[in-house]
Amino acid sequence: MNSWWFDDRNHGGGESATAPRLPRSDLDAAAVAAAGQAIGLQLRAVYGDAVREPVPDRFLKLLEKLDNA
């Protein structure tokens, strides 16, 4: 059976698929896009905070030792 409620690509093309796959609506696509955008904004904010953190002295000393080795 090759119908819209079975995803044959993930189940070898047979009728043994266990999870029905319903068609996605435009609302679903918009929700996924909005969630992705919100996650991206949060990741950029966290990354920006981490980049602005000072490098700890012990790391600077280690890097200096490595440069002199």
Q: What are the domain boundaries of the chain?
A: 26-68
What pLDDT, on a 0 to 100 scale, did the predictor assign at position 16?
52
> What does 11-54 look like in DSSP terms, one character per residue?
TTTSTT--S--PPPPHHHHHHHHHHHHHHHHHHHHHHHHHHHSP
Q: Is the pLDDT of residue 2 over 50?
A: no
Q: What's the token pair of residue 47?
A: 């990354």
With beta carbons less than 8 A apart as the criterion, state whether 17 and 6 touch: yes
The pLDDT tens digits of the residues spanning 7-56 come to 445 555 555 556 666 556 766 888 888 999 999 999 999 999 989 999 99
Say how far residue 25 (Cα) sits from the centre of its chain.
Answer: 22
